[in-house]
Chains A and B, each alone.
Chain A
Amino acid sequence: MTSNMALSLRQLSRLLAFIGTVFIITTVLVPAPAPAEDNDALEQRVKAAFLYKFAGYIEWPQNLFSQPDTPITIAVMGDDPLAAELSQLVVGRTVNGRPVTVRKLRDIEPSAVVHILFVGRDDSARLGEVARALQPRPILIVTESEGALTQGSIINFLLVDGHVRFEIALDTAEKKGLKLSSRLLAVAQNVRTDTP
């Protein structure tokens, strides 16, 4: 009788713990998309996260970083909300031991230290100009407009079945002296090696 009671109490406490865990996971860890936030905003958040994560799969030339903990700088052009999102995201995070800094760019600053440059849809018209200006420098140019790879972009976001995907221009990257991890290529929607 006593042992049965003890057992049931233990089971009850386990059940409560399980319910609690599920509750926490469902409410805190997996917050449902806020109704106020539309699909575009969500898409930009995903892109911000991808931008940060790309850093882990790219190998820049050795001389680009003076110190082992020289930060990786991600510059954002033409999408301030994404830049803001990204700034929040990278706080306290490192990639291969390097901190990540985010800066907004209004114009081309040929001398600015930039490792990844995101050109938003709003600035897509300037892409060719930007790409040409930065052409010899090992900067990973990421875009979100169709056909951007032909204009000097290395990674271009796509939207496939409502999911954010990307395509890669591997030859462009090689020309700039950037090495892209094969693991990154594996998840790319499309890898091009013959961009004109």
Chain B
Amino acid sequence: MLERTRSIHRKLLLVVATTTVAALTVAGIAMEFYDLRTYQQSSVNDLITQADILGRASAPALSFDDPRAAQENLALLKARPSITAAAIYTAKGGLFASYLEDGGADPKFPSLPEADGSRIEGKELVVFKRIVENDEILGTVYLRARYQLFERFKDYLGILSVVMVASLLVAILLSARLNAAVTRPILAISEVARRVVESRDFSLRVAKTTEDEIGSLADGFNAMLTEIGRRAEILEASNRELEQAKDKLRELNAELEQRVANRTAQLEAANKELESFSYSVSHDLRAPVRAIAGFSRLLWEAHADQLDAEAQRKLGIIQSETQRMGDLIDDLLAFSRLGRKEMQRSDLDMQEMARSMYERLHAQHQGPQVEFRLGSLPHAQGDRVLLEQVWANLLSNALKFSAKREKPVIEVSAISDAKEHIYFVRDNGAGFDPQYQSKLFGVFQRLHRADEFAGTGVGLALVQRIVTRHGGRIWADSKPNEGATFYFTLPKEVPDGSH
């Protein structure tokens, strides 16, 4: 604070001192120049006047050839100590009378007078002045005087420096007093600024003491404080509102989450109920279906020869439909069991799994030779039994729907991105119409007639359920008669919890 004050003081002092010195120097140089010029002119004029007076006084002496009188006139120059030598020449150029100051050096009077004029010879001023009376040149006055231009210059310089030092001192003393008048209001403003920063009290104001630039600075500072105070209030108010809104949002969110949890629990309970219902239904259905199958077989074995051809055919239909009903119930049981069973996760070699599953299915398969292309599949985390089920269903579908091709081709491969592995199974079989894609993964949904391709319509629903439980997705694309590709993804990171 003190350092800053000092620096402003110093600056102002510097300004004052510089201005004073500069102004005095310029004025001094101008005055000195003027004075020396005036000195020179007045010296010359003085000497010429002196010569003129001397000439007029000596005119009779020359007229009447009286050197004694001229000599007496010249002797009067003793009263003028600046004149070192003087002489009067006759019209014909002869030295008529001469004067030399006491103790003066070698006179060296010019041997001949010159025309009117003056000149500076070293440190002396020399003047020649004709004596004219009645248009007749009677003679010439010669004067030689000390010309102390340099001494005068030195004296002047001395006076100038004394004046400069004195006025510098006065200026510094005065400005030190005046400085306080300038700096005090500035210090007051900075003091208020410091207090505002410390206390964050925007209601503080600077007292305006002057009507000058500093006064307007104080006004501006006060206006700024008002504005900042207003802004701060608005900001605080909106902050408060925001905080309230956030609280409300948090409440709503918690409420929503609670509601979702409740609904989920209800849903899960309903699902469980439904699953156990379908399980018990399937389980309970099995017994009568087995009975029908058992008794129709007994009927066939014991009484086939008593039945005519028509009865045999109808019994055959009963047997095959009973078989189909049993298959449906088995699949339904498997599907419903899926939701009840805990998943056993482990690291799985998907490539090996797909290969062995294909070999097992292919061994049971009847039909043309199939070209099986197996790419490189990454390992995955999951339930071995469930994922084997996925491969089994997808590969058997591929075998089944490509069985009518002359050269069936089945390709299994995978691609990976940052989050997940995408496995796919592609065949060149019957394919399906993409507009029915949404029905593809529904339970008991079939896109082909049963006499065309066998199946219960539960397989893909089961696959979807398994993939979803692993945190993945499943989809397919196809065109009729151009084969189908089934994709499923498994996340690289194992999700917490398993459903």
Contacts and interface: CB of A to CB of B under 8 A. Distances in A.
A121 interface: no
Contacts of B135: 94
Interface in B177-194: none
Contacts of B340: none
A184 B66 CA distance: 11
B93 A53 contact: no
A25 B65 CA distance: 19
Interface stretch (B54-62, B251-259, B286-294, B415-423): B54-62
Interface in B65-98: 65-66, 69, 92-94
Sorted nearest first, the 3 A-B pairs with minimum C-beta distance are: A187-B66, A53-B63, A187-B69
Nearest to A165: B66
B57 A183 contact: yes
8 contacts: A25-B92, A29-B93, A56-B133, A93-B136, A95-B134, A163-B65, A186-B60, A187-B60
A30 B64 contact: no
A96 interface: yes
A164 interface: yes
A50 interface: yes
Given A56-B133, A96-B134, A164-B65, 17 more contacts: A25-B92, A30-B92, A30-B93, A30-B94, A46-B65, A93-B134, A94-B135, A163-B65, A165-B64, A165-B66, A166-B64, A183-B59, A184-B60, A186-B57, A187-B61, A187-B66, A187-B69
A82 B69 CA distance: 26
A60 interface: no
Contacts of A57: 60
Contact of B134 (A56, A166, A181, A186): A56
A165 B69 CA distance: 12
Nearest to B63: A53
A95 B136 CA distance: 10
Contacts of B94: 30
A166 B135 CA distance: 25
A164 B94 CA distance: 18
A85 to B, nearest CB: 16
A50 B63 CA distance: 7
B53 to A, nearest CB: 12
Contacts of B61: 186-187
Interface string A154-173: 00000000011110000000
Contacts of B136: 93
Interface in A79-110: 93-96
Nearest to A18: B112
Interface in B395-438: none
B64 A50 contact: yes
A154 to B, nearest CB: 15
A129 to B, nearest CB: 29
A96 B60 CA distance: 15
A186 B134 CA distance: 19
B56 to A, nearest CB: 8
Given A46-B65, A183-B59, A186-B69, A29 B134 contact: no
Nearest to B93: A25
Interface of A: 25, 29-30, 46, 50, 53, 56-57, 93-96, 163-166, 181, 183-184, 186-187
A13 to B, nearest CB: 18
Contacts, number: 44
Contacts of A95: 134
A50 B94 CA distance: 19
A74 to B, nearest CB: 15
Contacts of A184: 60
B133 to A, nearest CB: 7
Contacts of A56: 63, 133-134
B212 to A, nearest CB: 69
A56 B62 CA distance: 13
Contacts of B60: 57, 181, 183-184, 186-187
A124 to B, nearest CB: 22
B453 to A, nearest CB: 131
A165 B65 CA distance: 8
B74 to A, nearest CB: 13
Contacts of B92: 25, 29-30
Nearest to B136: A93
B63 to A, nearest CB: 4
Contacts of A46: 65
A25 B111 CA distance: 12
Contacts of A181: 60
Contacts of A187: 60-61, 63-64, 66, 69
Interface string B280-308: 00000000000000000000000000000
B128 to A, nearest CB: 16
A171 B453 CA distance: 183
B57 A53 contact: no
Interface in B318-342: none
A56 B56 CA distance: 13
Contacts of B134: 56, 93-96
Nearest to B64: A187
Contacts of A53: 63-64
B204 to A, nearest CB: 86
Nearest to A46: B65
Interface in B83-138: 92-94, 112, 133-136
A196 to B, nearest CB: 26
Nearest to B69: A187
A186 B64 CA distance: 11
A46 B57 CA distance: 21
Nearest to B111: A22
Contacts of A96: 134
Contacts of B66: 165, 187
A50 B66 CA distance: 12
Interface string B471-482: 000000000000
Residue with the greatest number of chain A CB neighbours at <10 A, chosen from B64, B94, B134, B135 = B64
Nearest to B67: A163
A94 B133 CA distance: 10
A30 B60 CA distance: 20
Contacts of B63: 50, 53, 56, 187
Interface in B27-77: 56-57, 59-61, 63-66, 69
A60 to B, nearest CB: 16
